[in-house]
Amino acid sequence: MTKPRQADDYNAPLVDRGGRSGTVLRILLLALVLIAAAGGFVVFKRSLDNEVVLGGLGVLAMVGIFFLVSSVIGFIEVMPQRQSDSLARSFLNSHPDGTLITDDKGRIIYANAAYGALTGARKATEVQTLETLLSRHRESNEALYRLVNGLREGKEGSEEFRLLRAVGPGSNNSGAHWYRLKARLLQQEDNGGKPLQIWQITDITAERDDQERFFKELQNAIDYLDHAPAGFFSAGRKGEIFYLNATLAEWLGLDLTKFVPGSMTIGDVVAGEGLALIQSVQAEPGLKKTVTLDLDLRKTNGQSLPVQIIHSVTSMRDGAPGESRTIVLAREKSDENGRSASAAAMRFTRFFNNTPMAIASVDGDGRI
């Protein structure tokens, strides 16, 4: 039978030197002190009184007994065990981002399995720092330089850069790659030493591809709207035009490259009393209303353009006018010299809306 492995074994870090480096030094120092004490006793044993020798041995015996009892109850540890949180360590070992921890001198303290997979390292001796890996590429030098300077100032940072090829030499994916690099400091809790540097690198090529694909789809949608066979414009609460498509700009004779959102209003493009007709369209509070109107637009050369618009306006919850969106359909001149009833109705509507006389329709109670 195959012996089951723990889940954390599959994500074992390539490098993990997080133990207390001062333990061996302290043990060696204790050994030197004991050897010096024994040597001093041998050298000066003839010049010491028996009472002094017995007193010293008694003190050493008491210290020894205290040490043995303390080590049994756990008050003193000969070889201090690493106090680590298994949950946090498992999280770091299995983290999908490549994580590298170095000291202030650039020596590698920790590198998880994702870092090895990303950089192509398969064993501890093959793990290299990010400064070594990224300094080979001109595209990542500036990003790495900014992050290193930020760490020296005690600031964390994040950079994104594009490389012509993958960082890892053994990567199966060819072509350009995008990476996100993060850097921050980690203050050690067990001593007052210098903080460690945490580096996290992520391959975001797929994320960038999705963004570029979405941007292209958005550009295509805007292009379809710009070159639709109908005009379209969107206005704000005060009637300022924020967007109009290329079709409507061509009909009005506007240079779309010089158009600044908000620089024009509906009144600048509507001829006659068409603006009053548009402003009369009011939706109920919190609702939307769509109407069809026949009116004339004003071209830049002063000529009128007969159109039919589908005007949709929203209203705020307090009843204030909201944004509006309008589709503009050009009305061609009738080839049948006005024999069509619809053409006659449209001509009457244009004449009615542009007449110099004030006309209103009221009911029996005097309401318009």
Query: Which CATH number covers residue 203?
Result: 3.30.450.20
pLDDT tens track for 84-132: 567 777 888 888 889 999 988 888 888 888 898 888 888 888 888 888 8
Residue range(s) defining the domain that contains residue 60: 10-73
In-domain check, residue 31: yes
Domain boundary among 175, 210, 245: 210
CB 168 within 8 A of CB 116: no
Counted domains in the chain: 3
Mean of the per-residue pLDDT values of the chain: 80
pLDDT tens track for 264-300: 899 888 887 788 888 888 888 888 999 998 888 988 8
* Residue 197 predicted with pLDDT over 80: yes
CB 116 within 8 A of CB 14: yes
- Among 140-144, 179-183, 258-262, 343-347, the range scoring the smallest mean pLDDT is 343-347
Alpha-carbon Rg of the chain, whole angstroms? 40
CA distance 121 to 48: 63
Mark whether 203 and 172 lie in a shared domain.
yes
Domain boundary among 48, 73, 98: 73
Confidence grade of residue 360 (pLDDT, cut at 50, 70, 90): low
Mark whether 263 and 308 lie in a shared domain.
yes
Mark whether 135 and 95 lie in a shared domain.
yes
CA distance 267 to 88: 64
Confidence grade of residue 359 (pLDDT, cut at 50, 70, 90): low
Start-to-end Cα distance in the chain: 91
Mark whether 203 and 236 lie in a shared domain.
no
Mark whether 25 and 121 lie in a shared domain.
no
Q: Is 133 exposed, middle or buried (0-12, 13-18, 19+ CB in 10 A)?
A: buried
Q: Is 225 exposed, middle or buried (0-12, 13-18, 19+ CB in 10 A)?
A: middle
Query: Tokens at residue 68, please?
Result: 């043995």
Percent of the chain with pLDDT over 90: 18
CB 99 within 8 A of CB 115: yes
Q: What is the pLDDT of residue 3?
A: 42
Global model pTM greater than 0.85: no
* Residue 6 predicted with pLDDT over 50: no
Pick the residue with more confidence: 330 or 235? 235
CB 251 within 8 A of CB 297: yes
Mark whether 316 and 279 lie in a shared domain.
yes
In-domain check, residue 220: no
Mean local confidence (pLDDT), 326-347 = 61
pLDDT tens track for 41-78: 777 767 767 777 777 778 878 888 887 888 788 776 66
Mark whether 98 and 190 lie in a shared domain.
yes
240 membership: H or E segment, kind and range: strand 240-244
